[in-house]
Structure 1
């Protein structure tokens, strides 16, 4: 290890050797490969989303966490990623911010994993990122992920990042730095948050209860999982501060969630604890495997919804009532059958001609779009009902809403990503995310305009108002 430190100061061609082979996982390459392949074979997966942007994976010794980690890695087996950004907690060094390591590769018994040095060098230009070589030399939380990656992926580079102490507000700054550095190639990047969950027992200085231990540990873990499922990094951090839950990678998880372009949706793949494995809960660590995707529709589903919206309006003009389900001209995929909120916006020569929707996921998405189309055409109180001869001049835009999340601090609101709902004194206003972009609004102006939409004073959001944010997947007709 000493020679590695000396070499780091004098040479660019540095390989970070394995620090935990033979301790945390098998040192013999054949035995290690066989062990991982057995874990992967035993993992039974549910149906998966078409796009997987991130994983949450444990990093304990493979005896304990390997079977759980395999669920996450089996989900990405054979998929193509240019790079893998691994965010992990620092177990052996304390510092503020983030640390990455500018080396040529990490080494495991299965060979070398190249580092994306271009990304690493770009990150190190930011004061929140430091190299801190000593923090990486003993760290297992990044290395534990590498043999699995070597088995399930090909032709990828890694960006190793350790997180120690960081304020909540810097979580979002770190995520923004990552997005800026990765740029458009973030689409070809897999994020991994390396984390174990609740560390319970005297060994970890965390004994919040002494009865029904296994049930209460699981309850705490699952409450954290629910925030991850909703893609709510702020809610997850608030839960962490409130309960003091000992999730070692809480910050890597929050950064991972916040680094994705859209608010992601999480899926729990597997959960267990060392207490369950050993049948002894005097000390226990929890292991969770999850994946995150940025929920969205494929191009065919988008086109089908736009086609359905226009068909619904044409049908209503010709028959005086909406079409029956068996009459609609599209294939209703499983995604379109999911209950989702959505808005339909009608524009005539670029000017608003009607916009109404459903905030909450009451109906299957395709039915929501059908109803919202009719409401936007005939029930928007700001406009006269749409006339049949106008339909050929109308462009249709659909906004599919994500989860509605309460806003505790307005700093959480990100212009361009979030839509807003403001409620006060029985009145409510909603603006879709694209409104802020179209009118070049900053956060303050966006809040004020949402208040005006509710019939409130522009400053009504400052006191006594309930504020909510949501993302939206927005798409429209290019031609019709």
Structure 2
């Protein structure tokens, strides 16, 4: 069998004795489990070890696969430059994986590397592995801002590449869990932190990888985890395979969660096709949304589907509510994919002759011109969720005390710089956070005074 198994491991630098200088004794259970996981992986005698690291090169819309014949790194950033790791890359695997990903519609490859040095998310697992095994080649892959489904698909491509090349492959999913477990921890406390760790350890301990899709982007962001996407790629690499899953340890004494699990493959299991099952649920949910959507959302969806499929912008259709023809207002069209923002473009005030025209123009822009994202692809259309916000006229206010994040959106202005944030957004829970985000969007520094305006919206789903 090409895919031998995988391990899920954390990457706290202090686990390296020369870095921790005694502090590592506070995570002794993790250290013991790490050694056991490394021994298990070594016993499989893989030809190639694929390392998935949150601290390698990361792009919003692209998976970076490290190029070249090899690389090295050290722990100089953690005051231990004498501890070095060197790897030899499996260049044939990298080339085949890049081509396989392209054929599967996954944006991945070797472009965009600025620094070839190994990151600590890669070096720490290999520091343990190298104590028990040598002679293997490595493939290092960074994560991306793409949806979880794309991470799973990349994992599937890893499995297919291993099969095509006849490689014996093991995967290391490097990633810490929540960074917000304790008030006195380095990142503070967030209620979602311990909840995430409990959920992820249950999922990973059972090998119940389909439930990884149930953890929303917003929830993961609030928990401040860094391993979720590594775990999803790993799950994809084990797609349709039976695995013996075992939890070796979990602890979080310093306010960051560390989990160690091992997965050994045990043959084919076609029923463990978790991505197909997830996509079926997504399509069913999309069908239900279409049945309940109002005219505003339907117009945005029809605009985008037509434009992406044909390149043509629709005309204002007949049969809309009268106010969409007669009224003018600022409109924002927002898109989400798998719970993550996929595009959002709008106008603060009316610039076209009707709300309907405003929706059509901004829907096209949200799907193709938001500078934060590449243009929506046709294969994404069934996974998109739409919302349309119709804005009331903005009014000047004297201070943040007149804001309410659930009721009012905010506009901040400093000279020619202007930023807007809509109200009642997931993850924006305070007025201070709302204003800070609006300032960042406008390129206004946090300490600059600004003119404040507020507005209300009617949100259509």
After TM superposition, the score normalised by the length of structure 2 is 0.47
Q: Which has the higher contact order (CA 8 A, sep 6+)?
A: 2
After TM superposition, the score normalised by the length of structure 1 is 0.45
